[in-house]
Amino acid sequence: MSSAPIKVLLVEADPVDAHGLLYAIERKRAEEALEKSEAFYHSLVESLPQNIFRKDLDGRFTFGNGRFCAEIGRPLEELVGKTDAGFFPPDLAAKYRADDLRVIQTGKSFEVVEEHVTPHGEKLYVQVIKSPVYDAAGRVIGTQGIFWDVTEKYRAEEHLRKAYAELAAKDNELVHTMSALKHSHEELIQAQLQLIQVEKLESVGRLAAGVAHEVKNPLAILVMGLEYLAGACAAPVDSKADGDPPAAADGTVATVIQAMRDAVERADAIVRGLVDFSANRQLDLVAQDLDAVIARSLLLVKHELTNAHVTALHERSAHDDPAGEPALPCVTLDTIKAQQVFVNLFMNAIYAMPAGGRLTVRAYAKRLTKLERETARDEGSRQAERFRAGDEVVIVEVDDTGTGIPPDKLAKVWDPFFTTKPTGRGTGLGLPVTRKIVELHDGMITIANRDVGGARVTLMFHAARAVT
Amino acid sequence: MSEKKRILIVDDESALTMLVKLNLEKTGRYEVREENHAIKALAAAKAFKPDLVLLDVMMPDLDGGDVLAQLKGDPQFKDVPVVFLTATVLKEEVDKKGGSIGGYPFIPKPFRGEVLLDRIEKMLPPQPAASASGSAPARDPRQPRNPEARRREDRNPSRGG
C-alpha cells in the first residue's frame, strides 16, 4: 500500500462495487510506477553521451535518443517508422540491415569499430554495439544499437599501427643491410686471402730455384752411394788392389746406406716444405710452437742464405727445460701464413745484406707491462689496441746486420707497392701483406733500425690459452 | 807401381765428399782428402799438395770462385787443375759465381762416377809406369821447356778443357 494519499472522486451512483474500486486503485498505482520507470529510463537514455536507437524486426526505427536524432539531423517523429535507407547511402544502409539481421538471427550482440559517414558526409570512426531486444516472452522483437565517436582514438591507433609497420620495414631493411654487409665482409676477406696467396707465389718462384739447388746435393749423394754399393755388391770382400784397405763391406756399406737415407729425407722435407708453402688454403688456426714455424721457414730460405753468405742464427728460448715443457707458450697460427710472414722478413733481411752478414731470430714469452703498451700506442700504431697491460704475449725479433732503413722511408715501408728494389724485382707487396697476415692473427708488427746497425722487425702475438 | 794422384775435394756437403772419396779411392788410382769448410781450403791444399782440386761452387762461407782466387794467388797452386762441381741450374748463376768459372770446367750435380773419372783423367793423364832407373817420363809438348816446368811436369800436364 503506498503511503501517498489516494485521491478518490466521489460520484453519485448506485452503491459502488468494492472489488472494482480496489482494482482501479491497484491499476492506478501500477501505471504510476510504470510512468516513473519510463521517466527514469528516458532521462538516462537522453543524458548519456552515446547514440542510442532501436529498430523493429523489419529494420524500422522505433526509437532514437536525442543525441542520435541530432546526429542524423531529424526529429524523433521523422525517425520512427523509417529504415536506414532513409538516412544513409544505399550500400551503408544495406550493411546496417545485414548487421541487424545477424543480431536478430543469432540472438548474439556484436561489437565493432567501423567507419561511419554522417548524412553530412563527414567520415568518422565509431564503436558500435548492436544487441537483440526481447519481449516478455523471450522472443526477439528487434535490435538496439549504441555507438559513439572513437575517431581520435582510432586515428591514434592507426598512427601507431603505421609507425609500427614502418619500424618493422626498417628493421627488415636493417637485417638485409646487415646480411649484405656480412656478405661483403666475407668477400673482402676472400679478396685479401687471394692477395696474400699472390704475394706468396711471388716468393715461391724464387724459393723454387733454391729448392732445386738444395735437392741436387741429396741426389748427388744418392748417385754416388748407389755406385759405391753396386761396386761393393759385385766385388768380393777379399779382392784388394794396390794395398788398399778392404772394402770393409759391413761398416762402410751401412754408413753409405744411412747417408743415402738421410739425403732422401732431406730432399723430401725441402720439396714438401715448398709444396705445402705454396698451397692455397683458407685460414686454419692451430695453437703451435712458434720456434718450429721459424725453423721450417729458415729451411725454406736455406738456399737464399747460402747464396748470399748470410749466416742464420735461431736463438731458442733460454729457459728450455730438457725434461719436456717447451719454454715458449703456444701461439694460435695458420702455419703456412705464418711461414709466409717469416719467409718475407728473412728475404728482406737477406736483400739488405748484399755483402753477407748475419740473420738472428729469437722468440720469447712476456707479460706486457702498462708502460710497454702505452709506448706502442704512442707510436701511432693502431695495432696496439689489440693488446692490454697484463697480456701474455710471445715476441719474435728478426735482426739483420744490413744497411738499415733510411728514416724517411721507415713510415713508407707499409705502403702497398712501395719498394726499394729495382723495377721488376719485388712487388712492394711483401710488407703490407705480411702486416695483413699478422692482423689476421690478432698480432702486431713494427720495424725499427738497430743502434748497432741493421734493422729489427718485432712481432707480437697473444699466447694461446693453455690447453691441458 | 804408379803413384796415386792426390785429389782435394772442397764441398760443404760432408756426405757427398765422403762418397766421392770412397768411389775415387776404390779405383786404386787416387788418394782423396775432404775439406768441408771453404775457409780452410787453402790451408788444406798447402798441407796436402793436391794434383787436382774438385771445388763446389756455392758454399756458405766462401764461393768456389773465391777459393779458386786464393789458390791461384798462391804460386804453389797456380797451375793446379780445378774442376767445379755445381748444383747451379741457371747459366746466369753459373756466370755470376766468382766470375772466373768461365774457362774452368764444371760438372753439374748429380754426376755419375764415370763422368767424374773421365774428367779427372782428361786433366791428369795416368802416368806410364816409371822404370826403376828413373828415366824422365814423356813430356807434354804443350808445356814450356824450362827447368821449373820440368819439375812440375808430372803434376800439371794441362788445364782447361
Could B89 and A220 be called an inter-chain contact, meaning their C-beta atoms sit closer than 8 Å? no
For the record, the C-alpha cell of A341 comes out as: 710472414
| pLDDT per position as a tens digit, A216-265 | 889 999 999 999 999 888 876 555 555 555 545 568 899 999 999 999 99
Kindly indicate the confidence band of residue B99, based on its pLDDT and cuts at 50, 70 and 90: very low
The answer, for A311 touching chain B at a CB cutoff of 8 Å, is yes
- Yes or no: say if B110 and B143 are a contact pair by the CB < 8 Å rule: no
Kindly indicate the confidence band of residue B140, based on its pLDDT and cuts at 50, 70 and 90: low
Q: What is residue A274's predicted lDDT score, i.e. its pLDDT?
A: 86
Mean pLDDT in residue range B78-91 = 81
Q: What is residue A335's predicted lDDT score, i.e. its pLDDT?
A: 92
Assembly ipTM: 0.73
Could A209 and B13 be called an inter-chain contact, meaning their C-beta atoms sit closer than 8 Å? no
- Shortest distance between the Cα of B21 and any Cα of chain A, in A, equals 10
The answer, for B25 touching chain A at a CB cutoff of 8 Å, is yes
Could A228 and B16 be called an inter-chain contact, meaning their C-beta atoms sit closer than 8 Å? no
Determine if the pTM surpasses 0.80. Answer: no
Task: Please name the residue that has the C-alpha cell 550482440.
Answer: A109
In Å, what is the CA distance from B12 to each residue of A347, A361, B18, B101?
A: 23, 23, 11, 18
Q: What is residue A209's predicted lDDT score, i.e. its pLDDT?
A: 79
Answer positive or negative: Cα dihedral of A27, A30, A31, A32. Answer: positive
Q: Is B110 helix (H, G, I), strand (E, B) or coil?
A: coil
Nearest CA in chain B to A239: B26
CATH number for the domain whose boundaries are B5-127+137-153: 3.40.50.2300
Q: What is residue A409's predicted lDDT score, i.e. its pLDDT?
A: 85
Residues of chain A with pLDDT under 70: 1-3, 8, 10-16, 119, 236-250, 318-326, 371-382, 423-428, 466-468
The answer, for A266 touching chain B at a CB cutoff of 8 Å, is no
Instruction: Give the span between the Cα atoms of A74 and A126, in whole angstroms.
Output: 20
Instruction: Give the span between the Cα atoms of A51 and B70, in whole angstroms.
Output: 124
Q: What is residue A124's predicted lDDT score, i.e. its pLDDT?
A: 87
Could B23 and A311 be called an inter-chain contact, meaning their C-beta atoms sit closer than 8 Å? no
Asked if pLDDT for residue B68 goes beyond 60, the answer is yes
Could B26 and A244 be called an inter-chain contact, meaning their C-beta atoms sit closer than 8 Å? yes
Instruction: Give the span between the Cα atoms of A345 and A435, in whole angstroms.
Output: 11
Which residues of chain B make contact with A245, given a CB cutoff of 8 A?
Answer: none
Q: Is B37 helix (H, G, I), strand (E, B) or coil?
A: coil
Greater confidence (B106 vs A221) lies with: A221
- Yes or no: say if A267 and A312 are a contact pair by the CB < 8 Å rule: no
Q: What is residue A83's predicted lDDT score, i.e. its pLDDT?
A: 92
Burial of A23 (0-12, 13-18, 19+ CB in 10 A): exposed
Identify the weakest region by mean pLDDT among A130-144, B32-46, B134-148: B134-148
The residues with which A115 forms a beta bridge, in sequence order, are A125
Task: Please name the residue that has the C-alpha cell 661483403.
Answer: A184
Which residues of chain A make contact with B111, given a CB cutoff of 8 A?
Answer: 220, 223
Q: What is residue B153's predicted lDDT score, i.e. its pLDDT?
A: 45
* Helix locations, B55-155, DSSP H: 64-73, 91-96, 113-123, 147-153
Q: What is residue A259's predicted lDDT score, i.e. its pLDDT?
A: 93
Asked if pLDDT for residue B133 goes beyond 60, the answer is no
